[in-house]
Structure 1
């Protein structure tokens, strides 16, 4: 598994966890900005970036074990402040539940919600000749391909992964920040007339993550699309520095 470490030591260790649609390298500007304040660790899960290809189908519980083993093997000490984007938010939440005593906090950036495919899977407009390849790929994935492990290079069993974390298991007073973007309001994949209603549904789902902790709060970044680390990296940096 490929990884990169920056910074000068000190607790906590900040762990950057990517989603399904990007490599860890896109976190480099945020990693560089945080390195003056703490140790920052990013890595490519099996099937992503420079890491090896996975030999089997895996669910999020196994990915959590792989991350924990990697942190130990690379001598990255707890406590951990995990920044998880999209699917990485689901993984970060599961890691915090399993290793609560090793956690400093969570920053969930546009975190995957266990009901998101049921809510938005049929929201895409019907196919047309003007569709871009990206529009076709997104529609196909959200409409049902997500259930197939080979739909992702990581061979993730998403149905099992979502079932594992449908319940919001409280994390006590662990600091949790939920960063919510204007993903649907700004999305090119949906008709303009439907975007506001879809955005309202997305914000409702994101608010459902707040009961994770008595110390949870939400930050809105309405001008950003789903990849906040690209569109508005400063909001992520500031959230991490506040939690530090």
Structure 2
């Protein structure tokens, strides 16, 4: 599941590598890639209904592992708790943090000016639905998906577009990644050394191994999942 602004073609190399051993599927959400544009604002519930339809089509009622980057990771993490009957594992690659709007509003005050003020305003606008998918990226606490295997991977390279706030933004992001651990009693958190936000591009070796490990663990609980 690609991040916001990315189509499934961005995942082509990762999918090709993983498909040597397993069945791997990706899709363009509404507003991304070759899919239709959404008519209006979408919610996570809307995105979830589309994901359910995709899974029904490609996997029937079989088990699946969801691997998502950035916004794709957030959507996967929001979806899994309510669909424990079919989602048997997660790989979250620098997934958008659970309460990004509130967190960035705390780190960057409303009184900020210049480039950092633009970053704050742009982030909040995107989260309010000003993005290709027109999805409202609402803050919410992390819900549990039980004891499914989950690997959470965060980037390594510090955000440096606004140097004076870089360290604070990194702490915010790292704390958000730690909070994703509450999604499962079998979650792990690691850092992709040398990687920026696009972990599966900068460190495809780590991304591949993470997905394969989670798939193997999920399969050990019965059934061969589709990713």
With structure 1 as the length reference, what TM-score do the two structures score?
Answer: 0.78
Equivalence for 2:172: 201
- CA displacement at 1:157 relative to structure 2: 1.9
Q: Is the 8 A contact 1:86 1:112 kept in 2?
A: yes
Equivalence for 1:98: 82
Equivalence for 1:172: 146
- CA displacement at 1:21 relative to structure 2: 2.9
Distance 1:215 1:74, change over 3 A: closer
Q: Is the 8 A contact 2:150 2:184 kept in 1?
A: yes
Correspondence 1:86-165 to 2 at 5 A: 86-121=70-105, 123=108, 126-127=113-114, 138-142=119-123, 144-149=124-129, 151-159=130-138, 162=139
For structure 1, list consecutive stretches of 5 or more residues without a partner in the other structure: 1-16, 129-134
Q: Is the 8 A contact 2:89 2:149 kept in 1?
A: yes
Counterparts of 1:148 and 1:167 in 2: how far apart (Å)? 17
Distance 1:221 1:77, change over 3 A: same
- CA displacement at 1:207 relative to structure 2: 0.7
RMSD: 2.3
With structure 2 as the length reference, what TM-score do the two structures score?
Answer: 0.84
**What is the number of equivalent residue pairs in this alignment?**
212
- SS of equivalent to 2:17: helix
- CA displacement at 1:77 relative to structure 2: 5.4
Counterpart selection for 1:189 from 148, 157, 161: 161
- CA displacement at 1:89 relative to structure 2: 1.5
Which structure has greater strand proportion? 1
Moved more, 113-122 or 214-223: 113-122
Counterparts of 1:75 and 1:239 in 2: how far apart (Å)? 21
Counterparts of 1:188 and 1:198 in 2: how far apart (Å)? 9
